[in-house]
Amino acid sequence: MATTATKRKSTGTSGRATNKARKDNDDAIKLTVSEILANTDAYPIPEDDTEIRKLLVTLAQYARSLEGQVASLMPQPKSAEELDDAMEKIRKAAAAGIKKQMGWKPSCKTGTAKWVYDGVCPDADVFGRLMGLSGPPTWKTKKLTVDEFEDLLGSIHGSVRYDTLYLKGNVNIRWSDSGEFKFSGTYGV
C-alpha cells in the first residue's frame, strides 16, 4: 500500500515577486537616467517639490545599488593569516622544487652546478611577504646571498651517495607584475 505525501501550502511570498519588482524598478530608473542624459538641457523638471524629492531619492538609491554591485566585484584584501598561509605554500613548493634539482653532476665538485625554479604567485603581497618585505616588491630583479635566501625559504640541501650538496654563490630573483617569478643559482659540495 503506497502512501502519498501531501504538499504544504506556502506561508510566505516567494522571492520571484520581489526580484521581479526590483528588476522593474531598476528598469524604470535606467529609463529615467537615459532620458535625462539624452536631453540634458531640456529635460522637464517637475514643479512639485515632492516629485523632485522622489526623483532625487530614486536616483540616489540607484546610485547606491550600483556602488554595491561594484564593491561586490572588487577583490577583498586578504588577512594576515591568509597571506601567511599562501606564502607558506609557495615557500614549501619552491624549496622542494629546488631540492629536486640538486642531483650529482661533475660540476658539483667546483660548486657551479646550476638550478632554476620558476613559479607563479598571482598576489604581489604574498610574494612580498615571501621575500620578507612589508608590501609588494618594487624591484624586478634582485640578488641575495645564500644565507639571506635560506633565511627566507629555509635550509635547502640535497643528499648524494657520499656527500651533501649545498647552495653556493648568490641567488638571482626575478619578479614580474604578472605574478611570475624565477629563482636561480648554483650548488655544489
Per-domain residue ranges for the chain?
16-73, 80-188
Mean pLDDT along residues 31-54: 81
CA 132/CA 137 separation, integer angstroms = 10
pLDDT at 143: 92
pLDDT at 2: 55
pLDDT at 116: 92
- The phi and psi torsions of 13 (rounded to 5 degrees) equal -90, 150
Cell 504544504 found at: 8
Tell me how far CA of residue 187 lies from CA of 138, 158, 184, in angstroms. Answer: 28, 9, 10
pTM here is: 0.57
pLDDT of residue 100 exceeding 70, the answer is: yes
Mean pLDDT along residues 136-158: 87
pLDDT at 23: 64
